Chains A and B, each alone.
Chain A
């Protein structure tokens, strides 16, 4: 098995606020991420696909195709957007790194048809990331 990783970047804003909680609780749980005007990050996304290289092309999948999938599914949807208001998949969820990573997994998983989506890792800052992988998967 070979693991192939492609990286993209996008910039977006968000705010952490749960309308079911009081203003004080929101402030206590989310701290400065609760600032009502929102704030933004430069996100870095690493997408890892696992598979056997095709005997003819030597590729797990065509990187150009992966690039187009990422552009269509992720960049166009999330880049320079306010995640709470402009990304329907995040509707009703707090757009934490964990939830965004899960939305990204769910968007990409059915689109990767050569090889198999192995892992997505989403960096919110260089020191904070969330990742999704199948239960029990070994890390690559």
Chain B
């Protein structure tokens, strides 16, 4: 084999949450023009799917980059419990002054999971509906740990 390769593990999670797209920097008519029905003052909800991938060395003893129990537990605590069946605008601190678009949600989930200590976060993909998906891989060049 000529080149070293990266091996990553991908996992999909789900949560349901409500949001309202509304920017304090815009007037009411502008908000309505930009966000359309997503600007409805009472908000609306989605079943979100979060797909993450983490890379790292495959432990020869276990054959795993990371034990799924550890990964699932971390995502459950940091993301699912924080967002599931919540109003993103009202109940997630960062969205008090940031519009909870799925772009911003993707970045926030990446920020939370980047701290996972047992593997290196490569990418976060958030599907807002089965027709809309957003991906974020951070702004810096990732620390890609190669394995043979």
Q: Name the interface size band of chain A.
A: 20 to 34
Say yes or no: B137 contacts A98, CB within 8 Å.
Answer: no
CB distance from A140 to the nearest CB of B (A): 12
Cβ-based interface call for B67 (8 A): yes
Cβ-based interface call for B10 (8 A): yes
Say yes or no: B61 contacts A21, CB within 8 Å.
Answer: yes
Say yes or no: A99 contacts B63, CB within 8 Å.
Answer: yes
Interfacial chain A residues near B144, Cβ < 8 Å: 135-136
Say yes or no: B1 contacts A131, CB within 8 Å.
Answer: no
Task: Write out, one digit per residue, whether chain B residues 2-15 have a CB within 8 A of any chain A CB (1) or not (0).
Answer: 01111111111100
Interfacial chain B residues near A136, Cβ < 8 Å: 6, 144
Say yes or no: B61 contacts A130, CB within 8 Å.
Answer: no
Say yes or no: B69 contacts A31, CB within 8 Å.
Answer: yes
If A18-B61, A98-B63 touch, does A132 touch B1 (CB 8 Å cutoff)?
Answer: no
B interface, CB within 8 angstroms of A: 1, 3-13, 53, 58, 60-65, 67-69, 123, 137, 144, 146-147
